Amino acid sequence: MAVPPTPTPTRTDRPVLEAQGIRKVFPGVLALDGVDLRLFPGEVHALMGENGAGKSTLIKVLTGVHPPDAGTVSVDGGFQRFAEPLEAQHAGISTVYQEVNLCPNLSVAENILIGREPRRLGLVHWSALHERAARLITELELDLDVRMPLGTYSLAVQQLVAIVRAVDVKAKVLILDEPTSSLDRDEVAQLFTLVRRLRDRGVAILFVTHFLDQVFDLCDRVTVLRNGRLEGEYRIDELTPVTLVHRMVGSELGILDELAETSHTGTTDGPGSGDAPFLSARGLARAGGVQPYDLDIHRGEVIGLAGLLGSGRTEAARLLFGADHADGGELRIHGKRAVLRSPRAAIAHKIAFCSENRKAEGLIGELTVRENIVLALQAARGWTKPVSRTRQDEIAARWTEVLDIRPADPEAEVRNLSGGNQQKVLLARWLLTDPELLILDEPTRGIDIGAKTEIQKLVTSLAAEGTAVLFISAELEEVLRLSHRVGVLRDHRLVATLPNDTTLTPDRILGAIATGATS
């Protein structure tokens, strides 16, 4: 990878966007405290920090979603006070969020130009619309049919279209908020090519991500936030991945050692391979979800499930939890035949499931942390046997401490927590029910490295105590680090179950994913 020319903070250019002393308070939480940020034309600038460090809030201040309580934002040297997102857009600040905010049922061209379609006699001038969209697409060296509905393209392409749309608003500043979290490697490369092209045209790009290697791959400078404060602004060549993580978590020791430590524990031989399995699936299947598969899970065993997005990982797991009904095959728990008609039935068998979709399928956003934690326990007891308030408070206080949930306020509404902390609330909810099988679907996606390590450690120690864990993740390194065996899915089929011995590498798993063969 060619090293891009690095604009330095000392150069004589004026920053195109400068934020100074930004302060933002939400009820009960000081989210940002005196944060500065400078963006120069023609640079890719990373915004880094743990979950809850204030990255999202800062972006929302820059884009006019939240007005700051103190501090100034200036664009091209002129002070701005955005009352709403449209004003920020008019000032040249465009944003592309993690979730694509486009209409899949409209064509690519309509999506790019919606709200500013070329008109003739007050009606949409369709040929001009398609022409203009096609010109934009070719200018950025993409290859798309602008007349096709957006939904016919992959999520990655939709992400690119969102960027094209953002850039066409004559953006001087483009903010990319975790654009890569649901993309695979090739798609990420495609996105980076587009970002570099925009940079070379003089657009200032603010790039928010959790992936360290992407920062070193793409970015020129980094601003690090920690606990709502500015930790510092660095040129990327001043940093190494290790020093960057130190800046983010603020501890010189500990975290990386622990990471290294956990990576060894996973590679030992699987426990209980001779015992009867806790759960065993034979030919379990669901039409349109997953082809018949066999799987044994023993006590104290961590089974990783690897495969691309949409390969049937989640679908396979949902059958084991009764979230979907299997329409073929047989499931045995403790050797006895079990039919899981509902999640409730699975919970009665001491199975727990943390969905990959925390917001939609996990948490009840408007309820408090305490209420979310006791919910599974309470649901199992039924409404007539309430967990007393004293006991709820004890439980919430204990789990908030054990999992280091922040803010440490059990009465906070769970929707106000950051992603990593929400994941911990979900984990606390299920650990409280003392499960024998814990199914974790992408538990570390979109959360920061600190919380990620904690969750990985938790999985290891749970397994050591005898809990069986089914661990689904798109990150092969993580799957390898934790699992005793790895199931590989491809096109809705479990194509291989590989023991995690010393010979198993990410490349071998990738090979299995790519070819469907085991070696």
Partner 1 sequence: MTPPDDTGAGGRPVRAPGTRRLMEHRLFWPAAVLAALLVGNVVFTHDFLAVRVQNGHLYGSLIDILQFGAPLILVSLGMTLVIATRGIDLSVGSTVAIAGALACEHIATAKDPGSLSTVLSAIALAVGVAAAIGLLNGFLVARLGVQPIIATLVLMVAGRGVAQLITDGQIISVSSSAYKMIGGGYWLTLPFAVLLAAALVAVTSLVTRRTALGLLIESVGGNPVASRLVGIRAVGLLVMVYVVSAVCAAVAGLMISSNVSSADGNNAGLWIELDAILAVVIGGTALTGGRFSLGGTVLGALIIQTLSTTIYTLGVPPETTLVFKALVVIVVCLVQSPAFRARLSRRRRTAAPDPASAAGDLTARRQEVHP
CB distance 54 to 35 below 8 Å: yes
Which C-beta is closer to partner 1: that of 364 or that of 514?
364
* Minimum distance, C-beta of residue 457 to partner 1, in the bound complex (Å): 8
Output 339 or 364, the one with its CB closest to partner 1: 364
Amino acid identity for residue 413 in this structure: E
Q: How far apart are the first and last CA of the chain?
A: 30
State the burial class of residue 265 (Cβ atoms within 10 Å of its Cβ: 0-12, 13-18, 19+): middle
Structural contact between residues 107 and 147, judged by C-beta atoms closer than 8 angstroms: yes
Residue 170 or 341: the one with the smaller Cβ distance to partner 1 is: 341
Distance CA 515, CA 213 (A): 27
Among candidates 285, 225, 211, which has minimal Cα distance to 478? 211
Calculate helix-pair angle for 155-168, 185-200, nearest 10 degrees.
Answer: 10
Least Cβ distance, residue 135 to partner 1 (angstroms): 35
Q: Give CA separation, 167 vs 77, 95, 221, 334, in Å.
A: 21, 9, 21, 57
Tell me how far, at minimum, the Cβ of 243 lies from partner 1, in Å: 16
DSSP per-residue codes, 413-444 = BGGGS-HHHHHHHHHHHHHTT--SEEEEESTT
In the bound complex, what is the minimum distance in angstroms from residue 251's beta carbon to partner 1?
Answer: 5
Cβ closer to partner 1: 213 or 252? 252
- Cβ nearer to partner 1, comparing 404 with 475: 404
Q: How far is the CB of 125 from partner 1 (least distance, A)?
A: 36
Report the distance separating Cα 17 and Cα 63, nearest Å.
Answer: 11
d(CA 150, CA 156): 11
**Hey, is 58 helix, strand or coil?**
helix
Task: Provide the minimum distance between the beta carbon of 293 and partner 1 in the complex, in angstroms, as a whole number.
Answer: 21
Gap between the Cα atoms of 484 and 500, Å rounded: 5
CA-based nearest residue to 43, from 201, 165, 216, 190: 201
Q: How far is the CB of 398 from partner 1 (least distance, A)?
A: 16
State whether the Cα torsion 237-180-135-94 is positive or negative: negative
Q: Which is nearer to partner 1, 338 or 375 (CB)?
A: 375
In the complex, minimum distance from the CB of residue 92 to partner 1, in angstroms, rounded to a whole number: 22
Distance (Å, whole) CA 349 – CA 422: 25
Nearer to partner 1, 416 or 497 (CB): 416
Shortest reach from residue 57's CB to partner 1, in Å: 5
Nearer of residues 261 and 491 to partner 1, judged by Cβ = 261
**Cβ closer to partner 1: 264 or 341?**
341
Residue closer to partner 1, measured from CB, 38 or 452: 452
Closest distance to partner 1 from the beta carbon of 323 (Å): 6
* Nearest partner of 351 among 439, 432, 286, 428, judged by Cα: 439
Q: In angstroms, how far is CA 515 from the centroid of its own chain?
A: 27
C-alpha torsion sign, points 214, 404, 357, 331? positive
Nearest distance, CB of residue 253 and partner 1, angstroms: 9
Which of 215, 363 has the CB closer to partner 1?
363
